[in-house]
A and B are shown apart, each in its own frame.
Chain A
Amino acid sequence: MTFNFNDLVRGGTACFSKAGLAEGTNDHTIKIAAPNGAGVDFAINGLSYHKADTDNIAPTVCDEQTLGTTCLYVVTLQTDGDVVVTKGNEVDNDDLSGGYAVLDWPTPPAGECPIGAIKVAAGTTAFTVGVDDITDDVGTGTITFYDFFAVPSAPLTS
């Protein structure tokens, strides 16, 4: 199917700059470091906004993620530039690697723009976004950052 943007486009919630999500300098923080060197332009319901590059963003404190699971956390911006992190559904690491389960992207909160996501594959210890440090506390697990234009339509399979 061809999706024609030409006529009568209204509204729109999307991120127009690669946000460059990464671990923040301070403990348990993240940062926005757009590779364009000029922050992030984004739209919510058709209105455009700008978020400057920012270090040491304290993520929303999420529910604890069980050890041995993988989970996606969607990162959204509000109209005032505040950052919100929303936890998705945990999937057992063995089920994911075995192809028995997929990792669905969380649904962003209404009225906020998804700019990226964090995938946390917890190893032998549980992990709590907003409390634990991405480098120091993930233990045998791994962390992956994604930058969004919009939430991908297909789930992750690994």
Chain B
Amino acid sequence: MTLNLNELARGGTVCLSKAGVAIGGTTSKARTNAPNGAGVDFAINGILYHVADADNNIVLTGDVQTALYTNVYLVCINSANTITVVQGDEVLSASLTAGSAPLHWPTPTVNTCPIGAIKVAAGAGAFTPGTTALTGGTVTVTYYDLFAVPASPLTS
């Protein structure tokens, strides 16, 4: 199917700048650091908004992630530039790498724009969102910048 975006486009919730999600100055937090050097433009329901880069502006939340499991945390922003995180469903890391269990992207909160995501693979210890550092030997962390939530789940 061809998707023709030419005519009568209405609404739209997408992130229009690479947010540059990365570890924060406080290592249990993350930050936005757009490589354009000028912050992030994003749309919610057709209206455009702008948020400046800031350190420690992404605070992970959710249940304690089990040791040896992987999970993805979706970073969302609302029209007031408040950033929240939606925790996904954790998957045993061994099952993920074996291809027997994909890692699904969480569903964004209504009326927020997903700008990025953070995949956390917990090692021998549990990972507590917002408390455990996003660096060091116990976790492997991958950052994603989103235009929209990918259609396919993660398979690694």
Contacts and interface: CB of A to CB of B under 8 A. Distances in A.
A152 B46 contact: yes
Interface residues of A, number: 34
Contact of A14 (B3, B12, B47): B12
A150 B46 contact: yes
A9 B3 contact: yes
A13 to B, nearest CB: 6
Main SS of chain A's interface residues? Answer: loop
A7 B1 contact: yes
Contacts of A46: 5-6
A14 B9 contact: yes
Given A35-B50, A149-B43, A150-B9, A8 B1 contact: yes
A20 B48 CA distance: 9
Contacts of B151: 2, 4, 6
Interface string A31-63: 000011110000001100000000000000000
A32 B10 CA distance: 22
A119 interface: no
A9 B5 CA distance: 7
Contacts of B41: 16-18, 35-36
Contacts of A7: 1, 3
A18 B46 contact: no
A154 B13 CA distance: 13
Contact of B47 (A10, A38, A148): A148
A12 interface: yes
Contacts of A4: 3, 151
19 contacts: A8-B2, A10-B6, A11-B5, A13-B5, A16-B16, A17-B16, A17-B48, A18-B41, A36-B38, A38-B38, A46-B5, A46-B6, A147-B49, A148-B46, A149-B14, A149-B48, A150-B10, A151-B11, A153-B10
